[in-house]
Chains A and B, each alone.
Chain A
Amino acid sequence: MSTSALTGPSAEVRPAHGPGRGPSRGTSRGPGGVLWLAWRQSRVAVRTMVIPALLAALVLITMHVLIQDRVETMRRIGCLETGVWDLTCQVQSGRIGMLSWMFMNIVQPAVTAVPVLLGMFLGGPLLAQEYESGTLRVVLAQSVAPHRWLAARLAVPGAVVLLLSAVLSALTSWVWRSDMVRGTWSFDPPFQGFTYPVLGTVPVAWALFGTALGVLVGQLVRRTVIAVLVSGAAVVLAHAVMLAVRPFFWPLVEEEQGYNNRLGGFAQPTNAWLVEHGVVLADGTRLTNAECAISSDVCAAAPTSWGQYHPVSHFVPIQLVETGLLLVLTALVVTTVFRRLTRAGV
């Protein structure tokens, strides 16, 4: 072996190196370092989320106060008792109607869309940009373990998403309940398509899941623009799948009723979610409503109708099941992201 040993009597010795050389090589630095970097990297994204969230909060609080005020006015006047309905009642009711229209047609769809937007614009680019521009190599070239960096990098925006979505969800639920408690004519029932996703814990779980899914897509695709598009599609697809399986999160209630031709169909309790209904023929066969549409005369002669539904009391359990499921999926997605970071290389 060619002598590379450079030691000798000369004072100008190139220092021999070994593991202990140089300043302390302890690698257990506190979390401060990666947290600073994670914050600095998420700064723009966080600011972009906070400002609309503050505006939305302001709008929701204002809506609640206004609705509350009008309902109180109506109660004082006596509109809420049956038989007392004059012009003032009409005016107040109309004002509430305007606010509820805003809630149903603007606020609800917007809040439902939040997880999709988070997946597209927060989650998708998060890792995709790092891979595409090569900056991931900057981080991996430092002494910190890749997992620690990734944990901080996900935790900082994740915590902000959790906080903001929790606040938003609390406010939407609050606004929605302001009318539900006192009157039932302005807002949609809880199981309704755009109402369900904005109440309770479900928006928070969806926000976290949508973001995580976007991060995974970004890591797989490694191109920012494609990641944005695919993430959006993925979250929407997840929504569709969840919609299809949601009825089975809690045991359905089945009932049969006498079929009244004039009323038509099955009459579920107030605010219940009718999942499936149809008629029962004289010989006991059950036909769904869809099948009835084909052979309507057969259904018209049926003596009984049946229905499967979730009453209002199932709302909270179903929400909790969905929340739990989404959190488990989020954990799986995040674990996959961590595993892929070291395995697939750069």
Chain B
Amino acid sequence: MIEYRIERRSGVSTYQQIVQQTKQALRLGVLQPGDKLPTAREVVEQTAINPNTVLKAYRELEREGLVEPRPGLGTFVRRSLARPGAAADGPLRAGLVGWVDEARAAGLDREDIAALMASVLEQRFETGVPAAPHGSTGPEGPAATD
């Protein structure tokens, strides 16, 4: 089960936050196919946001094929976004942890590391460097998101 954290003044609309957090959970494997998403009522009771936004977010996720409604039962995860390498206990993460430790040892603080990462991400994703072929999950990438 996922618990949403809504940041009201972040500039990102609440419905976007729910979509993003759900996708994040799917990526990290916190939500797996077959898991039940909390009902709109459960979400808003906890976060005190408008229930229409929750439904809107769920519909968006449904449109992207990530969740499916089962009438009378709730909304369930349909497929995962988790990549084998991105799991919370996977080797990619371990490698990243090591690199961050190296960077800190070299004297970079948090902002420096974040800026470095952002710059590299931008460079690598913008310049159309083809992604390495990946596994079972469906098409997902910057172009496919709304």
Contacts and interface: CB of A to CB of B under 8 A. Distances in A.
Interface residues of A, number: 8
A9 B68 CA distance: 9
Contact of A11 (B51, B52, B54, B70): B70
B52 A12 contact: no
Interface stretch (B26-34, B71-79, B80-88, B125-133): B71-79
A10 B56 CA distance: 10
Contacts of A14: 40, 51-52, 55
A9 B62 contact: yes
A83 interface: no
B59 A11 contact: no
Interface in B56-102: 58-59, 62, 69-75
Contact of B52 (A6, A9, A10): A6
A11 B71 contact: yes
A11 B62 CA distance: 11
Nearest to B51: A14
A12 B39 CA distance: 7
A9 B51 contact: no
Nearest to A13: B55
Interface in B9-41: 39-40
A11 B59 CA distance: 10
Interface in A252-270: none
B69 to A, nearest CB: 4
Interface in A8-34: 8-14
Contacts of B51: 14
Contacts of B62: 9-10
A10 B70 CA distance: 8
Contacts of A13: 55
A11 B69 contact: yes
A14 B52 CA distance: 8
Nearest to A11: B69
B8 to A, nearest CB: 22
Contacts of A6: 52, 55
A12 B70 contact: no
B73 A8 contact: no
A12 B72 contact: no
A8 B61 CA distance: 13
Contacts of A12: 39-40, 54-55, 58, 69, 74-75
A88 to B, nearest CB: 90
A9 B73 CA distance: 13
Contacts of A8: 59
A9 B63 CA distance: 10
A80 to B, nearest CB: 88
Contacts of B54: 12
A105 B62 CA distance: 90
Interface string B100-133: 0000000000000000000000000000000000
B53 to A, nearest CB: 11
Nearest to A10: B69
24 contacts: A6-B52, A6-B55, A8-B59, A9-B62, A9-B69, A10-B55, A10-B58, A10-B59, A10-B62, A11-B69, A11-B70, A11-B71, A11-B72, A11-B74, A12-B39, A12-B40, A12-B55, A12-B58, A12-B69, A12-B75, A13-B55, A14-B40, A14-B52, A14-B55
Q: Which 5 A-B pairs have the closest CB atoms?
A: A11-B69, A10-B69, A11-B71, A12-B40, A12-B55
